[in-house]
Structure 1
Amino acid sequence: MEDLIYELKILNASLQRMMDFFIPPQDPKMFDDFKALKAGSRNGRLFVRGITEPDPIRFYELKGIDRVVTSLRENTEHFIEALPCNNVLVHGPRGTGKSSAVKATLNEYADRGLRMIEMPRDTLFHLFEVADLIRGRHERFIAFCDDLSFEEEETSYRVLKAVLEGGLETKPANMLIYATSNRRHLMPESQKDNLPVYSAGELHPTETLEEKMSL
């Protein structure tokens, strides 16, 4: 009996490892069924799932952030109408309604084709994959990066920077990035950044600093 239990445990562990690697194909129908979605990463692979009960917050419930709400309204209106618009960073102290304002934007414009994909920081490496997933669709998509900031040793900021600045493969016209942060600059700044730059190991240390601070 003990041998059987042992073998069943081994089988269960093997099945669990197989399930960890199995990610079902992304069904485009989810963009018809859900207005709010969330990206995830499993073993380095992207998956996107629908959110069945998104936060129902509306603009009229928000107090004291009228300027933020007005800016989000105007920019999102332009986005939906395919007019010139911008990616958005809403920054300010914690608890001032930044995230609620972005979520209210979805609820305000979902019936006009707006969709929102929440992208936690550990999924930013998949930004180009998300772009490919929504490219050419009739809906308008906001990639929502909540409470975004990067630490000194992180490199995922380069993916975000590449999407924002563009390259041979441009960000699709139906995609914007809205982020919230407690920081105005997403990369940390230290006192030494304002001192004369010297590095024994790097020929052009100022270029590294400029790249970091450009985000």
Structure 2
Amino acid sequence: MSDDLSRIADALERIAPAPASAPDWTAAEAFVWHTAPDRLDPVPEVARVELSLLVAVDRARNTLLENTLQFARGYPANNALLWGARGMGKSSLVKAVHAEVLRQGLGLKIVELSREDLPSIGRLLAHLRAARDHRFLLF
């Protein structure tokens, strides 16, 4: 009987895992979202390039930077969709813009979400909404 109850409890955990506990937001400026179980892991050192080293993306860079700075200052901002083939520098651009925002003394956390974890974005957003003292850049 207790084995059956254990199996049922395990199955329920897989279907509806316990909510993720809030991370220590002071541990890092960057986090990675993982599922099974849901959690945000701090990334103490982000690999990134300088914004000035990104070439042939001037318009996208300027628009994304302006929009992100506006958002980090607490103003409304537009969502941004960067598209292109794998390896074209989308993540590099986002990380470089984030670094520039931090250099300007604005608090903004960056959260990486893998393609495989997109179905869990609702759970991630609910988790981030609870952190009212922070603004987040998701990529």
TM-score bracket for the superposition, by shorter chain length: 0.7 to 0.9
4+ aligned runs moved over 3 Å, structure 1 = 21-25, 93-96
Residues 27-106 of structure 1: matches in 2 within 5 Å?
27-29=22-24, 31-42=25-36, 45-106=37-98
Give 1:84 deviation, angstroms. Answer: 2.6
* Partner Cα distance (1:134, 1:24) in 2: 12
Give 1:137 deviation, angstroms. Answer: 1.9
Amino acid of the residue matched to residue 132 of structure 1?
A
* Partner Cα distance (2:19, 2:125) in 1: 19
Amino acid of the residue matched to residue 139 of structure 1?
H
Give 1:132 deviation, angstroms. Answer: 1.9
Alignment of 1:121 onto 2:115: yes
State the Cα RMSD in Å: 2.4
Q: RCO higher in 1 or 2 (8 Å CA, sep ≥ 6)? A: 2
Structure 2 CA distance for partners of 1:54 and 1:137, relative to 1, 3 Å: same
Structure 2 CA distance for partners of 1:25 and 1:130, relative to 1, 3 Å: closer
Give 1:130 deviation, angstroms. Answer: 1.6
* Partner Cα distance (2:45, 2:18) in 1: 22
Do the aligned partners of 2:107 and 2:134 also contact (CA within 8 Å) in 1? yes
TM-score by length of 1: 0.50
Count of residues paired in the alignment? 122
TM-score by length of 2: 0.75
Do the aligned partners of 1:41 and 1:122 also contact (CA within 8 Å) in 2? no
Percent identity between the two aligned chains: 30
Amino acid of the residue matched to residue 91 of structure 2?
S
Name the structure 1 match of 2:3. Answer: none
Q: Which of 117, 126, 139 matches 2:134? A: 139
Unaligned runs of 5+ in 2: 1-9
Structure showing the higher strand proportion among its residues:
1
Give 1:116 deviation, angstroms. Answer: 0.8
Select the structure of larger CA radius of gyration.
1
